[in-house]
Structure 1
Amino acid sequence: MLTLDHTMMRVEDLEASIEWYQTHLDYEEKSRWEADTFTNVFLGPEDVHDEGALLELTYNHDGRAYTMGDSWGHIAVRVEDVYDAYEELMDDGVEDYRDPDSCGGSYAFVTDPDGHEIEIVERDHGAKWSLDHTMLRVEDADEAIGWYTRKLDYEMFRRSEHDSFALYFLKPRDAADEAMSVELTYNYDGRSYELGDAWGHVAVSTDDLHETWDELLTRGAEDYRDPESCDDRYAFTKDPDGHEIEIVTN
């Protein structure tokens, strides 16, 4: 089962970003990898579920700036009451971005210091502020759904179709409720999207990197960065819209 392990986003000020997530979402640092040219920091709630996903912040030491693009949408975090959670964030000094009333009362949005959007959703499972889903925009819903169901063996567990767009939620078969899902957003007007570089990838975890990689190639996944090119520690493929998918070992 290729459970979603983490979502990676790039940040321009690592310490400011860590402080923001620790202060406002009560995240703690789970692990850190210091390389010569970049640093990766993994964050999440203290009581994140065994199948729950983490947030990876990547900081490149050369001080580069990033473009947000619009192909990646947001991460979503879980709360019991969206109004109470939004008020708590406002009291903490988070910028008022899209309050619950502006979103029909069922969700809300804030942004982190780099402009990544964070949706706040009500759920009756999972730790407070734990990652519920990562939203990706797709240009062909049938192709994208087919890719995630055939390549990753995901199943659609929720769909919501509206006048101008549709939302499709997928995650591994038999995954825990607390596991993160991907939300595929399809706009009916046929627009195209720019990936930008402020968002990096979503990662899936496996017990056997090489076996999983071979299975993905057999299923027709793109041979983007194989395990050998990544020191046999991880690998990357891409979905039909160019979103990078990292494969990591448990």
Structure 2
Amino acid sequence: MDGTLDHVMVRVSDLAASVDWYQTHLDYEEKGRHEGDGFTIVYLGPADMHQEGAMLELTHNEGETPTVGDAWGHVAVRVPEGELESAYEQLLDGGVSDYRDPESCGGKYAFVKDPDGHEIELVERDHGRLWSLDHTMLRVEDADRAIGFWGRKFEYELAGRWEASTFANYFLEPAGAAPEAMSVELTYNYDGRTYEHGDAWGHLAVRAHDLQEDWAQLLTREAPAYRPPSENENRYGFTKTPSGHEIELLERDPDADSLFPF
């Protein structure tokens, strides 16, 4: 299994407005688009993305307004070291609403929101393209079980942790992942709270070397067969984490004419 995180999917209520927001404020370009029966999918990302970089997938279902839950936290985008304040001010000057400025976050990070209320964290990094995806944060109710899931099913390793008096953050990624690759952040709150998923956050996608072989391996490792490849014309499959986050498994051919396996 490759294990590289390929994209993170979020649902949006106004596709044109969301595409414009990411193109205007994060300088994303459209990587691909698929028009389906009652829905549209658009892949976005910075120009000249690293081969292990992750894309943002926007999905719009006609006539639906997604509901944001709290089981998904945010996506984080990179800014150069020492430029957090100026990057945040650039977004505000461009018309993005003030949400959580660097000062309120101890000068270590900041947050804005996109038109549907998806939270976007700004983090300083000495690698990766400006605004490229750094990590996706998921909230979990059992940290040990969640870390074990990613380790046993996908062979992810614990790359970092940060523990406070009331919560802990755990960062996981495939062994040997490039610094430019996106990682998973698991957030565990010690107070035993539970979370609502809503439908505004969709899934994370993991790249497979061979879809059928890697799917069979997931089942051997007792991953839930949520939406098997056989139910999706053998183009992709979905499993779920113990907390109910959907994980897509798909092959990615860099020489293909289209990003979509349809």
1:129 partner letter: W
Partner of 1:88: 90
1:162 partner letter: A
Task: Name the % identity.
Answer: 66
The 5-angstrom pairing of residues 195-214 of structure 1 reads: 195-214=197-216
What is the TM-score of this pair, normalised by structure 2? Answer: 0.94
Report the secondary structure of 1:39's partner residue: strand
Are residue 169 (structure 1) and residue 162 (structure 2) matched? no
Partner of 2:255: none
Structure 2 unaligned spans of 5+: 253-262
Partner of 1:55: 56
Structure 1 unaligned spans of 5+: none
Report the secondary structure of 2:217's partner residue: helix
Deviations 1:73-129 (A, max 9, x none): 000000012111101101101000000000000100000000000000000000000
Partner of 1:24: 25
Partner of 1:69: 69
Q: CA deviation at 1:207?
A: 1.9
Are residue 248 (structure 1) and residue 250 (structure 2) matched? yes
Q: Distance in 2 between matches of 1:226 and 1:206?
A: 14
Q: Distance in 2 between matches of 1:171 and 1:192?
A: 25
Deviations 1:208-238 (A, max 9, x none): 1001100000001001100010111100000
**Partner of residue 129 from structure 2, selected from 127, 130, 135:** 127
Q: CA deviation at 1:36?
A: 1.1
Q: CA deviation at 1:2?
A: 1.1
Q: Distance in 1 between matches of 2:34 and 2:228?
A: 21
Report the secondary structure of 1:102's partner residue: helix
Report the secondary structure of 2:219's partner residue: helix
Report the secondary structure of 2:92's partner residue: helix
Are residue 223 (structure 1) and residue 225 (structure 2) matched? yes
Q: Distance in 2 between matches of 1:190 and 1:112?
A: 29
Are residue 118 (structure 1) and residue 123 (structure 2) matched? no
1:232 partner letter: N
Report the secondary structure of 2:23's partner residue: helix
**Partner of residue 97 from structure 1, selected from 96, 99, 113:** 99
Partner of 1:109: 111
Partner of 1:15: 16
Q: CA deviation at 1:51?
A: 0.1
Q: Distance in 1 between matches of 2:85 and 2:158?
A: 28
Q: CA deviation at 1:65?
A: 1.3
Q: Distance in 1 between matches of 2:148 and 2:84?
A: 33
Partner of 1:79: 79
Report the secondary structure of 1:189's partner residue: coil
Q: Distance in 2 between matches of 1:28 and 1:148?
A: 30
Report the secondary structure of 1:66's partner residue: coil
Q: Distance in 1 between matches of 2:66 and 2:91?
A: 26
What is the root-mean-square deviation in Å for CA atoms of aligned residues?
0.5
What is the TM-score of this pair, normalised by structure 1? Answer: 0.99
Report the secondary structure of 2:76's partner residue: strand
Are residue 141 (structure 1) and residue 147 (structure 2) matched? no
Q: Distance in 2 between matches of 1:93 and 1:172?
A: 37
Partner of 1:36: 37
Q: CA deviation at 1:47?
A: 1.8
Q: Distance in 2 between matches of 1:221 and 1:191?
A: 25
Q: Distance in 2 between matches of 1:97 and 1:186?
A: 23
Q: CA deviation at 1:206?
A: 1.2
